[in-house]
Amino acid sequence: MGQAETFSHDNEHGRENQMLTQDLWTEIRIMRKMGKSIKKISRELMISKNTVRKVLRSELYQPYRRERCKPGLLSEFMPFLIERAPQLDYNATSLFRELKKFGYAGGYTLVKEAVRPLRETHRQLEAATARFETPPGLQAQVDWGSKKIMLGGCLTRVCIFVMVLGFSRAIYVEFTLDEKLPTLIACHEHAFAWFGGIPEEILYDNPKTIVLDRATANARINPKFEDFCLYYGYTPRLCQPYRARTKGKVESGVKYVKRSFLAGQEFPSLASANEQGLVWIREVADQRIHGTTHEQPAARFRRENLRPLTNRPPYFLQVWQMRRVATDCLVSYTRCPGDMCIRL
């Protein structure tokens, strides 16, 4: 077991020091397992090679902690600083010079530390609205939606799995009754088969089936799902708050499915909904002129350049569950009682 280290980004790529999240820590290790070099990981994630090396040396994630500077002499000037900083492009030297004129008696370092989070917040808000385009074959985005529809004469809530290829905006849609891990994996495999290939990476919005302990510093990728990703040789990417690498494409895709395909529809069965959904993709979704690319997804898909599937068998997912055996030797699994033989 490697020694725990605390991690933070440095400024090799022009970025402010900030905490290295568990998501990014896990992402680095997955990329290394896939055979990517330290230099390539550094370039793709926009972090320094030293940070990558630190992550790879340690098998235990330890959040970076920085002692917060006490406002002290600067506290009474904070309202001015908050208002003035954007006007001076968050330049700590200029702000320090102006503060001295207003009677500030502290040092430059305190001003610099106070300006840092203001600058970072501004940068994050700008990045959150930036459009992020990807080259052919690089990225897909996955998300779930849900909607109540008439299914077999009954109003039923269905889950909507959507995968969108980042370059072409080609889409795959599947309707299910749950979002559990086996279902998620099956939907991925169906999408890969539909597209005839696999992108280099897939972006997710931290769903609980993929990310464990999401709200804690111990957040990590579900080992079972990580193994699935390694099996198919792609990198799972997790949405980071206020990053340009957002999942706006797939969110738009979910809304598009609801509005263009599901609205007012009734289906005799879930299988029928999925069959009609594939026809809709082929004849409508992939043939429309996309509002951002101004091309048909089907036309751009010819340049998508996905990695071929090869002839690998479907991924085998082992599911371990605990069940209590009743006195009559029956065990309930997925609410369906079945005989269980017990050897004494």
Q: What is the mean pLDDT of residues 220-227?
A: 88
Beta bridge partners of residue 157, listed in sequence order = 148
User: Is-contact 292 167, C-beta < 8 A?
Assistant: no
Angle between helix 22-33 and helix 223-232 axes, rounded to 10 deg:
40
| pLDDT above 50 (res 149) | yes
Instruction: Supply the pLDDT for residue 334.
Output: 58
Per-residue pLDDT of 95-120, as tens digits, reads 999 999 989 988 899 999 889 888 87
User: Whole-angstrom Cα distance, residue 132 to residue 166?
Assistant: 9
Tell me how far apart the alpha carbons of residues 212 and 3 are, in angstroms, rounded to a whole number: 23
Closest by CA position to 84, among listed 107, 110, 118: 118
Q: What percent of the chain has pLDDT over 90?
A: 36
Per-residue confidence at 247, pLDDT binned at 50, 70, 90?
low
User: HEC states along 22-75?
Assistant: HHHHHHHHHHHHCCCCHHHHHHHHCCCHHHHHHHHHCCCEECCCCCCCCCHHHH
- Among the ranges 25-39, 100-114, 326-340, which has the highest mean pLDDT value? 100-114
As a whole number of angstroms, the distance between CA 200 and CA 166 comes to: 11
Q: Which helix (H) or strand (E) holds 156?
A: strand 154-165
pLDDT of residue 2: 40
DSSP type of residue 318: P
Q: Do 197 and 306 contact (CB within 8 A), yes or no?
A: yes
Query: pLDDT tier at 168 (50, 70, 90 boundaries)?
Result: very high
Query: Residue 192: its pLDDT value, please?
Result: 97
- Sequence-distant (6+) residues with CB within 8 A of 165 are 139, 140, 171, 195, 199, 297, 301, 304, 306
Do strands 171-176 and 154-165 pair parallel, antiparallel, or not at all (unpaired)?
A: antiparallel
Whether the pLDDT of residue 239 is over 70: the answer is yes
Which residue's structure tokens are 């050897």? 343
In three-state secondary structure terms, 230 is helix
CA neighbor of 182 nearest in space, from 35, 42, 303, 334 = 334
pLDDT at 23 exceeding the cut of 80: no
pLDDT given at position 12: 46
User: Does the structure show a pLDDT above 50 at 69?
Assistant: no
- pLDDT tens digits for range 260-298: 899 889 999 999 999 999 999 999 999 998 887 789 999
The DSSP string of 161-213 is EEEEETTT--EEEEEES---HHHHHHHHHHHHHHHTEE-SEEEE---TTTEES
- C-beta of residue 272 within 8 angstroms of C-beta of residue 284: no
Q: Is the pLDDT at 13 greater than 80, yes or no?
A: no
Length of the chain counted residue by residue: 344
Pairing state of beta strands 61-62 and 220-221? unpaired
C-alpha R_g of the chain: 25
